[in-house]
Structure formats: structure tokens, C-alpha cells
A and B are shown apart, each in its own frame.
Chain A
Amino acid sequence: EDKVVQSPLSLVVHEGDTVTLNCSYEVTNFRSLLWYKQEKKAPTFLFMLTSSGIEKKSGRLSSILDKKELSSILNITATQTGDSAIYLCAVEVSVGAQKLVFGQGTRLTINP
């Protein structure tokens, strides 16, 4: 059975801190790993990492895929209160069609 595990499940830090969120996976037919941010409604897309693109950066956010360790990290530097959200890691697998297998999410709270 395909499995995606995130840690920690919950994290509380102060504004300005740097955080690292972890995601590990055990799947067959890996295609890509995606990070999403979910506040109250739709998960919004952050990054997609594949065998040909193992490191991505956008502003204060960056992510790395370690295909040997079957894991990924999401880094957020100089955190702001607006970064408070649930961060979802999902692995895209191919089973005839493509499907996403989600981790449980990390609830990040940034205190002023």
C-alpha cells in the first residue's frame, strides 16, 4: 500500500523563525512529489519535484527531493503570520492514470 508520512504533525514557532517540514514516502510507480498549502479552503500548489527537478525555490520557500532517502523537506525562512496553514505533501503515482497520495499534513502556526 502506498504511504506518505509527514512530520511533525504540528509546529508552533515565532515570527521570523525558520522551519523545516518533512515528508517521507513508500510508493510504487513514483512520478513526482508535490507540496500544497491549505488554509480554510482549497489546497494551493507550492512546488512539484521530479527526478529531473529535485530542488525548487520561490521567495522564502524552498524544497528538496531526496530520491535515495525517499523523502523531501520544505523550508520556510523568515516566517510570517500569513504562513500559518496546513502544509500537505502528496506523491503522484501512476496506476494507469495518475493519482495523488497525501500525507496527514503539518499544521504550522506562526505567532507574532
Chain B
Amino acid sequence: QSVLTQPPSVSAAPGQKVTISCSGSTYNIGKNYVCWYQQLPGTAPKVLIYDSDKRPSGIPDRFSGSKSGTSATLGITGLQTGDEADYYCGTWDSRLSAGVFGTGTRVTVL
């Protein structure tokens, strides 16, 4: 039902890198900035990336974002056990005039 598609899960060993893709359309990612959110179990989401590639203050540079065409990517380097969480992309859909989130990706540190 979500208009943004993410892989259900990604995993890697501590210290390694993972990337999470977010696929949309010309009406959402193609036209608007993308944000990425981290959600730890039982807590509210926290923004990691805004304007597709900017980090709020306090977010380590291990987290990076990029956008190309109708897709966006979140990268996490130097993976830590504390990074185990669900990650969501989000943006505005100009055709729907609505906010949209991705399907979510569970990151597991092996």
C-alpha cells in the first residue's frame, strides 16, 4: 500500500557498511526532498537525514543520504550494535498532496 518501496531487511557485521534503497516515482522522490528516520523498538522515529543528504546536528557522519531520479539511498558505515533498528524513508507526494513513508527496512548487526 505504501508508495515508497524499501527492502524488508539488510544485515552486516559490526564495522561494515549497509545501504538501504527507497524507490518511488516522479511525483514523490522525483520532485521532493527525502528524509530518513531511525526507529528503535518502542520509541518514536528520529530523523537521520533531511533534504535528501543533510544530517541534523548530533547525527554522526556514519549516516549519509543521497538521491538520484526517483530513488534515494541511506548509507550506514562502521555499523554498530546500536544501529539495529527499523529505518524509513519519507517524502511528500505532489500528486496525492500527502506525506508518504517507505515500507521500512530492519537493519540487523550480525
Do A and B originate from a single complex? no
The interface of chain B, by Cβ under 8 A from chain A, is none
